[in-house]
Structure 1
């Protein structure tokens, strides 16, 4: 049954209890790909099972990799170490990690592979990655600058030096790095991956990529802040544990400070290796969030902090967030639109900055507002936070949370939150 909207009932008591965030989407999709490229059987535990990771798993299956799922948080991946030509285009929905990572990886396939997605993915840029592949002799085409991408591989990745403009997304860099060990040994090795400029979205995600690559046997040296050398070693199977998703944790951290908690997520904030965990310090400062928040290294956490900032003591300006315009939706516009649906003038766009005109007096008011999520999971989950303090907040398309946190509404219910739409639970 398709549920189109969900109205949140502000809790009369603090949300409290134990809530386990799902496994990291970013790490799960890296580990799935690397296990699919590794010879042997790998066991991935603590993994996220969601729309994005299912798309990656299905793509690997379509290219001859055995992907088994013995339980809700485990993938067992068995591969020959080579990907085969799929019989049809790889459909990846709106999964940005899967689309970008596979666009580079399928260059190692001997034959033609089409990487495609849904209507939202077809609006998300991939031109810089395609240009980088072309620069090292790989035949890749994306006429619109967005998916679909057609890649013609010759059985291995290209050797030599590849340069990439990473201003739009660090995922382009990760894609090239993960594909680099698939180059032919001895042919102008190692592969050098270099940035064409100083700008890079969420550099911390490159560290996640490098850690995962090394876990599967890759040899990578960082020459400087903008250059990496990767040996053409291929990959070997490994058992790999995936930590909880830091972006998912931000909603629970925010719910705790908004309602008084305590909420135990099972993992200390300082134990996360993902960049979005930096948001913990900002969220913990509520209701005195700083006047300026630089979101460049915790981009997925910005919608959470922005909605939380609506109740802050003083206004907050978010900077370094231009990349949010090319996520699953234009998240700067989506957050601004949602906040202004609650009260006109609550948010303002200033170029690529977002200004939230905070007002603690919003708490306790009845301000009916339907929040357009633009089919974006992070918009849905973030604006649920507004419903903790304001009566009348309705989330449209609440099921879009299935992209990364399928149990989100159940988790909040387990902490004491209730919803007016009874049909949602059916």
Structure 2
């Protein structure tokens, strides 16, 4: 039974870095994810004047409830959406002038709903080039708080950014949400805020956040459930077994729900208190599934869909079109390169059964999830290569080595092809 050591959650690490920076005291993060995104977030905090100590297995952050230690800063957010959306919100609670820019890929990703909400709260925010996109400049003078309306139908990160801001405002926040995607990620946010001493609750479509700041703590980062999806899918696809320690019944991340999709397709799934095991049965059934709440795992399912006995239709994933790339079309294009019949619509993709017999070069669009998903298909299809295999550094720099080790472990359990 291969045991797979999955690195820490990117989503949890980013939230923990914000919370630690805003808390009163010194916070220790245990086993945070070390990747391009999270290192970029930590370096952004340093640019804003926060003290961040990074040992191999623990990071220590000196919190500043009053905001950044510098009154001027220029922060480069790299490709990181959490960095590019959370750090400007953190800076808005301080006092000074702060400029944020990002990579060309991140510049294309939308920010307008969050910008509008921050402006409605009185934040002086200017987009320097395209409205609703990076780069942007904030002249911060603290945030009073109050009532605000937000459309989080493109990204739950807009809501998370405002929720995280809430305890730093003078009067607290009441955030009324008109649309929301990936709601489990918001549940991660509110649970973590509570762990850092904040008072947050939901009243229908309105999230109520009390003022009062955060308390420093020691916080252990659980393994990344989105990353685990590739290893669980590998077991289901190859008729072998994979166990991921540290992800179990108490996990915060909604993306662990991907194993329920694999269960519906015929895999055996055991979710224990401290681990999850997926065992392939030699059967993958087709299905229709709504993945609105676990859309980061849509490419994982798309990559194994051709091996199912019937069509796989994935619905309600329009937000995947504004990720690192248009993931719906990226999956469709690469499956077609492998000879698979695929159709797409505004928020859905349908994949016909038909095991590819020869590989092709996968066009990654610089998207880590496209690489990792199609690496799973490569367990059954020889000759799959990638035009940019190194883009996995965004969330899992050691992915290719870990996946090669998994393949070797599976070879001892029977053939993977």
Name the residue aligned to 1:168. Answer: 154
1:354-369 correspondence runs (5 A):
354-359=349-354, 361-362=355-356, 365=357, 367-369=358-360
Alignment deviations for residues 47-106 of structure 1 (CA, whole Å, 9 cap, x no partner): 1110110011001111111111122x3211112322134654211111111111112211
Q: Deviations over 1:262-305 (max 9, x none)?
A: 22221355342211111101123244445311110001111001
* 2:71 is the alignment partner of 1:92: no
Answering whether residue 63 of structure 2 is matched by residue 79 of structure 1, we say yes
Residues 85 and 113 of structure 1 are in contact (CA less than 8 Å); yes or no, is this contact kept in structure 2?
no
1:31 to 1:268, Cα distance in 2 relative to 1, 3 A: closer
Within a 5 Å distance, the mapping from 1:186-205 to structure 2 comes to 189-195=171-177, 197=178, 199-205=179-185
2:194 counterpart of 1:218: no
2:371 pairs with 1:380: yes
Pick 1 or 2: higher relative contact order, CA cutoff 8 A, min separation 6: 1
Query: How far does the alpha carbon of each residue in 1:170-190 deviate from its partner, in whole angstroms, 9 at most, with x for none?
Result: 100000010111112xxxx33
1:368–1:308: structure 2 CA closer, same or farther, 3 Å change rule?
A: closer
2:166 corresponds, among 167, 180, 187, to 180
Partner residue in 2 for 1:390: 381
Q: Aligned partners of 1:216 and 1:91: how far apart in 2?
A: 27
Match of residue 317, structure 1, among 309, 313, 316: 313
CA deviations on 1:364-404 (whole Å, 9 max, x unpaired) are x2x13100111100000000011111111112211111111
SS at match of 1:329: coil
TM-score (norm 1): 0.88
- 1:268/1:151 Cα in 2 relative to 1: closer, same or farther (>3 Å)? closer
8 Å CA contact retained: 2:23, 2:214: yes
Count residues with an aligned counterpart: 389
Unaligned runs of 5+ in 1: 1-15, 419-426
Q: Does 1:407 align with 2:398?
A: yes
Alpha-carbon distance between aligned partners in 2 of 1:85 and 1:146, rounded to the nearest angstrom:
24
Q: Structure 2: any 5+ residue segments left out of the alignment?
A: 267-282, 410-417
Give 1:214 shift: 1.2
RMSD: 1.6
TM-score (norm 2): 0.90
1:278 corresponds to 2:290: no
Q: Which residue in 2 is equivalent to 1:346?
A: 341
